[in-house]
Structure 1
């Protein structure tokens, strides 16, 4: 995380600053919440694309429903803005600050900014540069590329663009071709992949897509193998779930992991024994940013909405 651009932390920093100074900036917080709780287009896109990638989109589809503008969080944010408005005057200063807070909800790098700024070749270079300190000294000096040993190449992270060019010149990398045709890829994946486990699934997918070039638009996973003449497209999450159900297969371990979540088990035991005020406090704690994405956080969100 330490190598991420500072701008990616801007939105989180704004939220922390408002949270720590709530008494002085309550109208801005009301406005921030008003803007933040409106159902955004990127949430719908995220839910759709996660399903396409074979990932359970439930966390995001849940927020599509709970954030609805009729009875959900978006509606509650509107009510909060009206309820906090001054009644004695026209509230001009209040609404000015609310609008300023709403604009703060759009600060930082947006979804479209991230998409537009992504350069896959630059990401491959970044991945190799980050790996180079670990790989330096781990290779035999017998292997040379463009007259330099691999260890020598990896001793200078800034040389990674030239290293990639040298690998391509030496035919270890063949761009815009199936990844399996590159000798470099065969080192990463396959029955005798000498570098198996060196790269994370995300890093492998980036390298795989970079090697394939425009053909990677089909969304094929680096783990899939296409039949001749057919695209190696991922099976969507919902299709995979239906197939498992139709075959009478046992539930996916990932789906039942919730049942083994220690925090959730303790919550289920403790929650019914508390008085309403203590229940409310426990729900708020479970919905905090650090826990909201967990099975415990999702369970607390459902209970909170039903109160």
Structure 2
């Protein structure tokens, strides 16, 4: 019995079964590519993707071996290497700040919709943040793994909803209505699938996990710039700012990653092969869509055209015949998606859209917003932002840098989502109310842990609930807190 953990009455028999929490099959997205399909299975029902995940991961490692890496020749020099890398990033960031102070434009995000598109595009990766370390929990009794385990617990926010990385990023997507990342191409799912495959096959890929962790936990320049520019655009940068602090080279994840390499290197045979596999795991970070490639691939007009083409599938027969543009009915324009660029040009020529002016000056915009908006609700918040940015067009009318506080006030005045971040207490209250069964799940977990005969049984139960698909749920958050408390005993 473990009465020190909780102080609740213990029933004669608990109905709690961790397996119930992971039951269910992955729901595939129509038209999804093979990597997204694997990602979906690994994220929802990993037990059903075992052999496929291992085979796919071996294929990714084969690709990674063909790449160069920046690691020192001797891994004993890792801590000095990390210090040098951090100093270089710091110098680059100081240079960036100097450029911005001198009047340079944002380096990454030309507009608010550009930044929101970036968040959506990295969603598949960020929604499994930290997953690659999940398998290390099974080694909680081995002191050599404690640095990796502590890193995983911190990725999970130590069970605090306001600090759980997946919960934080999901809140960001929810706030800006950009949850439709399922339509992304396969390259956007590679990093997430790698993390999930490593998560559920840790015993077979331990050196690769150590190497992947070493690469992932370094502080990159793009993290600092993203946090800075998101803040300028009135988008909560907390998820990125948190990584800036915890990935530090002094006492953070970057240093723990280097220490894990030294702690887990074989002391006798097989050392050279282990090091080669660590390097392969490090190189896995270079596969799939990256932060910079996602940013560079965005084209505002192409994004608007894609949005309108998607709308045309449902709206091509929904307009009255008297709705005409350049002598043709709207239904006619929407009948063939390839006509959308010409339709936009006709709207601008016909006065429906006033490019280079505030969106409110355009007749089409007023159909979406305002007291008599006949198309209210047709476009999501993100889609409206894309349209607004395209109408106002930074190239036609240079963007004026607005303070974060002014951006927040503007959003509130437009009736958008609340700009003030929720307090930890409010987030926790929301998490507990997330589903009707949440309270009973928590009570059952408390009962079940209290009934277990020893620490090993408790840790095994708790780690099952800390899997990538569960840890951000109310019961997963509680399991994380209990696991951390027991780990310290």
TM-score normalised by length of structure 2: 0.51
Q: 1:208 Cα shift?
A: 0.7
Q: Report what 1:188 is aligned to.
A: 368
Tell me by how many angstroms 1:51 deviates: 4.9
1:261 aligns with 2:441: no
Aligned to 2:188: 8
Residue 211 of structure 1: how far off its partner (Å) = 0.8
Q: How does 1:129-144 map to 2 (within 5 A)?
A: 129-144=309-324
State yes or no: 1:179 paired with 2:359. yes
Q: C-alpha deviations, 1:38-72, integer Å up to 9, x for none?
A: 34444444555555555555555444444444444
Q: Which residue of 2 aligns with 1:29?
A: 209
Long gaps (5+) in structure 2: 1-180, 413-417
Residues 271-290 of structure 1 mapped to structure 2, 5 A cutoff: 271-273=445-447, 274=449, 275=452, 276-290=455-469
CA gap 1:26/1:38 in 2 versus in 1, 3 angstroms: same
User: Does the residue aligned with 1:121 lie in a helix, a strand or coil?
Assistant: helix
Instruction: Give the direction of change, closer, same or farther, for the CA distance of 1:107–1:147 in structure 2 (3 Å limit).
Output: same
- Given the alignment, which residue of 408, 423, 434 partners 1:234? 408
Match of 1:122 in 2: 302
Whether 1:151 and 2:331 are equivalent positions in the alignment is: yes
> Deviation of residue 281 (structure 1)?
3.8
Equivalent pairs, count: 290
Call closer, same or farther: CA 1:8–1:94 in 2, change over 3 Å.
Answer: same
Kindly tell me: are residues 189 and 285 of structure 1, through their superposed partners in 2, closer, same or farther at Cα, counting changes over 3 Å? farther
Return 5+ residue gaps in structure 1 as ranges: 221-230, 246-250
Match of 2:76 in 1: none
Q: Which has the higher contact order (CA 8 A, sep 6+)?
A: 2
- For normalisation by structure 1, the TM-score amounts to 0.78
Q: What is the rounded CA distance, in whole Å, between the counterparts of 2:406 and 2:185 in structure 1? A: 34
CA distance in 2, matches of 1:282, 1:50: 39
Question: Using a 3 Å threshold, how does the CA distance of structure 1 residues 39 and 50 change in structure 2: closer, same or farther?
Answer: same
Aligned to 2:66: none
CA distance in 2, matches of 1:282, 1:71: 30
The CA RMSD measured in Å over matched residues stands at 3.6
- Cα shift at 1:106: 2.7
Residue 74 (structure 1) aligned to one of 242, 254, 258: 254
C-alpha distance after superposition, 1:178-231 (max 9, x if no partner): 0011111111111111100001111011111111111584578xxxxxxxxxx9
